[in-house]
Each structure stands twice: as C-alpha cells, then as structure tokens.
Amino acid sequence: MALATYIPQDVSCIVAGIINVEGYVDGTFITIDKDVPPYTTTITPDGTIARTQNGDTTYTVSITVQAASKTNDALTKLWQLDQLTNMGKGPLFIKDRSGSDLFFAATAWIEGLPSMSKSNGADERTWTFRAAAPSVNFGNNEEASGLVQDIINLATGALPSLGGLL
C-alpha cells in the first residue's frame, strides 16, 4: 500500500533565479493555469471531428504571500526594473520537494502589481506572472521521487517546447 504525503512547507518557488519566495498565505498559495487550451475541436454536421493545434505556450502563475512578507519588496523591485528597462524577465522555478510536481519556465515576467488592501487582519498580495514555454510535470506525492525522477520529469515536461525542433 502506497502512502502519499504532501508537505506545504516543501514547495519552493524561485523567481528570476534570485528571489526565493517566502511568507505564503494559509490555503492556496500557488496556482498554475494554461492560458489557452492546446487544441480547439470542431465537429462537422456529418460527425467528423477535427482538432486544430494552438501554438500558444503561455501559462499564468499566481503566487499569494502575506502582506508582511519581504517577498513583496523584492517582486516590486523586479517589476520596477521591468517597467524601466524591459529587463525584468527571468526564470520561474516551482518545485514540490515532497512530490514530483515541477514547473520551470526560462522566461517569465510579472504581469502587474497586486491589489493592495489594508485591514485589521493579515492581508495578502497575489502576484500574477506570465510564463512562456515552460516544462511542466503535474505529479503526485507518493514516496520522494529523487533526483533521477526529477530529471526525467523535467525532460519530458520540455517535450512540447522541443516539438518545433524535431
């Protein structure tokens, strides 16, 4: 019988290769969504099904941290750098070290500043990133996968991006 164990503290996120995201909120703190489905389907009146491949490889990643997190200062500075120089792009790496979930995009950028609110409670900031052509593995949390499995997951996650080269 397999035992799966998810440990939220083992989820790591590194932005631009240097910003280690810290201070996540309780509850959902990272979401990853494909922007456009890879295929659109058409069904003709006679029942023929055709699919059209869409070349859009972008994903939207939302990361929610506490308003008190130092991550907000670092991400604000990265966003400001991008606004001034167009050089705020960089890699985005998300890994669940207690499982095999993996997301890596060599090019990602902050879409805009999060909403700011003030209250008598613990406020939060949700940062939205756009990522181009990532390697993705939506895995599981059974026994720790280890380095070899991580390399295989990263390589197979990159296959869609390599499609144009093959």
Q: Look at the pTM and tell me if it is higher than 0.85.
A: no
Residues 6+ away with beta carbon under 8 Å from 56? 35, 36
- Summarised one tens digit per residue, pLDDT across range 124-144 is 999 999 999 999 999 898 875
- Summarised one tens digit per residue, pLDDT across range 88-126 is 999 999 999 999 999 999 999 999 899 999 999 889 999
Give the per-residue pLDDT at 72: 98
Residue 71's nearest CA partner among 11, 128, 9, 125 is 125
pLDDT at 3 over 80: yes
Residues 81, 141: Cα–Cα separation, whole Å: 37
